[in-house]
A = this chain, B = another copy of it.
């Protein structure tokens, strides 16, 4: 099958050239406004032929000619995670405002798949990639070799030579912990990801520091996937702990939804018996029962910044990486014990 047989209306540059009595290169110069000048009368003949024939340079052809696909790749760790989808939506809106379309690539929570998908984006000649990484193991070598800029979004991950847009999760978690301590809790459990990386997660650091600053003993840590199921498993483990802390800080809303489910099943009142404060500020948190008190990441602002950053790097490969960090804010619901 060729393009022409699949598309009865397709008109080629050669058709336009023949109609206008010029070479195909001249048609290209008119369409792309260069690189060579075209005499005004010739230009008019070409434009007339384009209109007459209904010629529309297609995206693949333009990508080849201009070296520009007007495509950005967005690599996400799990496209079934609602928080990730909020982020993807915000990036899509930000990219569209700048005239770019997104190809969404999903790692499906597998590092192998993340690698495969990254090669895929390179083959599609995206102009830039925004990546919500699975872990700290970001392999940017293939993108770098292909001259495709990369911006990392949401994690406080540093990769040599790669720019990032992140939330100050350490300061955000501090707000959550100080709020729970302010409610009088003296023992606070932590539900967090498995974090195989070298540095501890900023939320875990804040949790340790705030307990220390308040003179509290360190509560138990429950490590789980960033999913509802992971949170549910952590909730069951929490219920089995003895003595049982009076509060839980969960490092994602998805986990908090699972934790709440385990507490409900066991008939444990939230916040009366156990207070919960969460992290992310996803739409689901507002419809949890009780409504989650959560640390909200400024998703739209971050998405805009990531789009700006990666687009700013296109054609400026020598530019050094920049790192932007956004503050998070505490959004009060009912799960913390506030009236």
Contacts and interface: CB of A to CB of B under 8 A. Distances in A.
A137 interface: no
A21 interface: no
Interface string A270-294: 0000000000000110110100000
Given A59-B124, A287-B228, A289-B261, A67 B146 contact: no
A145 B9 contact: yes
Interface in A236-287: 257-258, 260-261, 264, 283-284, 286-287
A47 interface: no
A4 B65 CA distance: 11
B106 A92 contact: yes
Contacts of A8: 145, 147
Given A125-B59, A264-B289, A82 B82 contact: yes
A250 to B, nearest CB: 14
Number of copies: 2
Interface in A59-97: 59-61, 63-64, 66-69, 79-80, 82, 85-86, 88-89, 92
Interface residues of A, number: 56
Interface of A: 1-9, 56, 58-61, 63-64, 66-69, 79-80, 82, 85-86, 88-89, 92, 101-104, 106, 120, 123-125, 145-148, 228, 232, 257-258, 260-261, 264, 283-284, 286-287, 289, 314-315, 317
A146 B103 CA distance: 21
Report, nearest first, the 8 A-B pairs whose CB atoms are least far apart. A3-B67, A60-B63, A2-B67, A6-B147, A59-B123, A60-B60, A104-B104, A7-B147
